[in-house]
Structure 1
Amino acid sequence: MKKIVVANNKGGVGKTTIASQIVFSLAGRGHSVIAVDLDSQRNLTSSFEHCLVIGDALDMVLDAKPFKAGLGAGEINVIAGHKDLQAQNTDDVMVNVSSALSNSNGADFCVIDTPPSFGDVVYGALLGADYLLVPIELKKYSLDGIEMALEAFIAAQAVNDDLQLLGFLPSRFDAVKQVERDALAAVAAEFEQVVIRHQIRNRVAYVVAQEDGVPLSEIKTKSGKGAQEEFGAFFDWLYGKVNGGA
Structure 2
Amino acid sequence: MIRIAVANQKGGVGKTTTAINLATALAAIGWKVLLIDLDPQGNASTGLGVAAADRTRSSYDVLTGNETVTDAAVETKVPRLDLLSATVDLSGAEIELVALEDRTHRLVQALDEAPPGRWDICLIDCPPSLGLLTVNALVAARHLLVPLQCEFFALEGLSQLLQTVERVRQAYNSDLSILGVALTMFDRRNNLSGQVGEDVRACLGDTVFQTVVPRNVRLSEAPSHGLPALIYDMKCPGSAAYLKLAREIIDRLPARAEAA
Q: Shorter-chain-normalised TM-score: which range?
A: 0.7 to 0.9
Aligned positions of 1:18-167 closer than 5 A: 18-49=18-49, 55-63=57-65, 65-68=67-70, 74-88=79-93, 89=95, 90-91=97-98, 92=100, 93-105=103-115, 106-158=118-170, 159-167=172-180
- In structure 1, stretches of 5+ residues that fail to align are none
Code of the aligned partner of 1:27? A
Tell me if the contact between 1:132 and 1:166 (Cα under 8 Å) persists in the aligned partners.
yes
The residue matched to 1:10 in structure 2 has which SS? coil
Residues 97 and 64 of structure 1, relative CA distance in 2, 3 Å threshold: farther
Tell me if the contact between 1:54 and 1:67 (Cα under 8 Å) persists in the aligned partners.
no
Tell me if the contact between 2:48 and 2:223 (Cα under 8 Å) persists in the aligned partners.
no
- Cα distance in 2 between the residues matched to 1:232 and 1:146: 25
Deviations 1:125-183 (A, max 9, x none): 11111211010112222332111111122122222122221111111111210111111
Code of the aligned partner of 1:134? V
Shift of 1:60: 2.2
Greater helix share, 1 or 2?
A: 2
The answer to which of 140-149 and 212-221 deviates more is 212-221
Residues 117 and 176 of structure 1, relative CA distance in 2, 3 Å threshold: same
Tell me if the contact between 1:60 and 1:66 (Cα under 8 Å) persists in the aligned partners.
yes
- Cα distance in 2 between the residues matched to 1:66 and 1:125: 16
TM-score, structure 1 as length reference: 0.88
- Cα distance in 2 between the residues matched to 1:33 and 1:127: 19
Residues 99 and 13 of structure 1, relative CA distance in 2, 3 Å threshold: same
Tell me if the contact between 2:21 and 2:230 (Cα under 8 Å) persists in the aligned partners.
no
Tell me if the contact between 1:54 and 1:77 (Cα under 8 Å) persists in the aligned partners.
no
Higher RCO structure (Cα 8 Å, ≥6 apart): 2
1:209 paired residue number: 222
TM-score, structure 2 as length reference: 0.84
Shift of 1:9: 0.4
Shift of 1:16: 0.7
Q: Taking every aligned residue pair, what percent have the same amino acid on both sides? A: 25
- Cα distance in 1 between the residues matched to 2:155 and 2:244: 25
- Cα distance in 2 between the residues matched to 1:25 and 1:42: 21
Residues 50 and 141 of structure 1, relative CA distance in 2, 3 Å threshold: closer
- In structure 2, stretches of 5+ residues that fail to align are none
Tell me if the contact between 1:29 and 1:74 (Cα under 8 Å) persists in the aligned partners.
no
Count of aligned positions:
244
